């Protein structure tokens, strides 16, 4: 009861603080000069989305998915975990069932042609599991994507990081020359300098993405408004549109190099704080920010080589 009272008292001062903080953060951050804009939207793409949990796909790229739907692209969605780790009053089995129903609803909202549930234990995703990699390889073979979306590899949630590491292992078998991998931001802010691709939202698209959050009724502990704030701020990357979604684009060879560097540098997801509402925005940006910058600078040198080589 006391906790709820404190939240009510702090809600609007925190909203104002978050608004000011993020305004200056994105306004003053160093960014690339050669950011791709909407380059992922083409009429002949085959899209595969890897989402660790139900709602990650919408937080990271909901508006982009609506654009793919508009372009009539063939799309497939993979949920890797069972969603049982969410904060809820439901039993584990009821929560899993509810989140699957939400995932099925998301399939319809974005027009996915195929939906896969891999049912790995929430919070325990492990990219070293042979059967998990085999499942992803089978999906790759079935869907034959030309574009793959996966969480950014520097993230505060183990499942998000392990999703992308699992993709790396699967692509090494399925197609070691795969080019178009778009890593999206979930709830661990990406340092702006690393962003090399962007999807712009007009006001209508921003509004439509906001409505999709209503699907996630099981996620009562999540404050989705904070992600809407960040979508608005990301328009500063190009000074255009009403909002934006950001990506770090890489090919599989570059992503392998990035993973190796992070292993060498001792990266661990628990070093960083996840963003889940207006109450922890400042913590998510500020927790170990110097360390995140150090990791990011290592990655930036690798990405810059790719940009030069492939003129992305």
Tens of pLDDT, residues 233-259: 999 999 889 999 999 999 999 999 999
What percent of the chain has pLDDT above 70? Answer: 93
Sign of CA dihedral 250, 153, 28, 204: positive
Rounded mean pLDDT of the chain?
Answer: 93
Domain annotation covers residue 96: yes
24 occurs within a structural domain: yes
Question: Residues 164, 150: contact at Cβ < 8 Å?
Answer: yes
Asked if pLDDT for residue 229 goes beyond 50, the answer is yes
Residue 231 domain flag: yes
Report the alpha-carbon distance of residue 246 to residue 235 in Å, rounded.
9
Report the C-alpha gap between 97 and 94 in whole angstroms: 5
| CATH number of the domain encompassing residue 145 | 3.40.50.10320
Q: Does pLDDT of 171 surpass 60? A: yes
- State the sign of the Cα–Cα–Cα–Cα dihedral 51, 53, 55, 60: negative
pLDDT reported for residue 84: 84
Asked whether residue 261 is assigned to any structural domain, the reply reads: yes
Which residues touch 83 (CB under 8 Å, ≥6 apart)? Answer: 53, 54, 95, 96, 99, 100, 122, 218
pLDDT at 178: 98
Encode pLDDT of 24-68 as tens digits.
999 999 999 889 999 999 999 999 999 999 999 999 999 999 999
Strand ranges (E), the chain: 36-37, 46-51, 74-81, 114-120, 147-151, 181-184, 197-201, 243-250
Checking if the pLDDT of 118 tops 90, the result is yes
Q: To which residue do tokens 């990219």 refer?
A: 127
**239 is in which domain, residue-wise?**
19-310
Q: Please give the pLDDT value at position 138.
A: 98
- Residues 108, 69: Cα–Cα separation, whole Å: 10
CA 137 to chain centre: 21
pLDDT(310) > 60: no
Strand pairing report for 181-184 and 114-120: unpaired
Asked if the model's pLDDT at residue 308 lies above 70, the reply is no
- 214 part of a folded domain: yes
Distance CA 15, CA 229 (A): 10
Q: Tokens 């372009």 correspond to what residue? A: 71
- Is position 8 within any domain? no
- In tens, the pLDDT along 197-217 reads 999 999 999 999 999 999 999
Among candidate residues 79, 113, 112, 109, the one with its CA nearest the CA of residue 96: 79
Q: What average pLDDT does range 188-199 have in this prediction?
A: 97
Name the more confident of 312 and 286. 286
CB 18 within 8 A of CB 10: no
Domain count, the chain: 1
Q: Do 303 and 196 meet the contact criterion of CB atoms below 8 Å apart?
A: yes
Q: What confidence category does residue 9 fall into, taking pLDDT thresholds of 50, 70 and 90?
A: low
pTM here is 0.95
In a domain, 4, yes or no: no
Question: What would the mean pLDDT of 173-192 be, rounded to a whole number?
Answer: 97
Higher pLDDT, 3 or 190: 190
Token pair belonging to 292 = 């995140």
Q: Is 263 a residue whose pLDDT tops 70?
A: yes
Question: H helices of the chain, where?
Answer: 2-28, 56-70, 92-110, 130-143, 158-174, 203-212, 225-233, 252-265, 281-286, 289-310
DSSP single-letter state for residue 86: S
Q: Which range among 104-118, 124-138, 198-212, 295-309 shows the weakest confidence by mean pLDDT?
A: 295-309
Q: Which of 166, 106, 162 is nearest to 135 (CA)?
A: 166
Q: Which two tokens stand for residue 30?
A: 């160093």
What is the model's pLDDT at position 312?
38
Whether 1 maps to a domain, the answer reads no
User: What is the share, in percent, of the chain residues with pLDDT greater than 90?
Assistant: 86
pLDDT of 88 > 80? The answer is no
């Amino acid at each position: 009861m006391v906790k709820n009272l404190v939240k009510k008292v702090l809600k609007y001062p925190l909203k104002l603080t978050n608004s000011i903080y993020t305004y200056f953060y994105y306004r003053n951050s160093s960014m690339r000069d050669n950011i791709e804009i909407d380059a992922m939207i083409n009429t002949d793409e085959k899209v595969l989305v890897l989402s660790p949990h139900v709602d990650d796909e919408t937080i990271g790229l909901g508006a982009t998915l609506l654009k793919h739907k508009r372009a009539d692209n063939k799309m497939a969605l993979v949920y890797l975990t069972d969603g049982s780790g969410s904060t809820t009053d439901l039993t584990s089995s009821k929560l899993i069932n509810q989140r699957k129903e939400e995932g099925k609803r998301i399939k319809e909202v974005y027009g996915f042609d195929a939906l896969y549930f891999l049912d790995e234990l929430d919070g325990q995703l492990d990219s070293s599991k042979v059967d998990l990699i085999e499942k992803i390889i089978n999906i790759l073979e079935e869907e034959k994507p030309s574009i793959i979306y996966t969480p950014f590899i520097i993230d505060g949630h183990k499942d998000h990081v392990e999703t992308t590491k699992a993709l790396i292992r699967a692509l090494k078998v399925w197609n070691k020359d795969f080019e178009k991998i778009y890593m999206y931001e979930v709830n661990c802010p990406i340092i702006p300098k690393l962003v090399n691709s962007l999807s712009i939202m007009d006001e209508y698209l921003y509004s439509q993405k906001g409505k999709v959050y209503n699907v996630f009724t099981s996620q009562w502990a999540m404050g989705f408004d904070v992600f809407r704030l960040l979508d608005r701020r990301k328009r500063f990357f190009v000074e255009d549109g009403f909002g934006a979604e950001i990506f770090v684009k890489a090919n599989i060879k570059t992503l392998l190099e990035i993973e190796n560097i992070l292993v060498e540098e001792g990266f661990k997801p628990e070093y960083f704080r996840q963003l889940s509402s207006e109450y922890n925005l400042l913590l998510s940006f500020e927790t170990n920010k110097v360390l995140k910058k150090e990791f990011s600078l290592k990655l930036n040198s690798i990405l810059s080589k790719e940009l030069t080589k492939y003129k992305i």
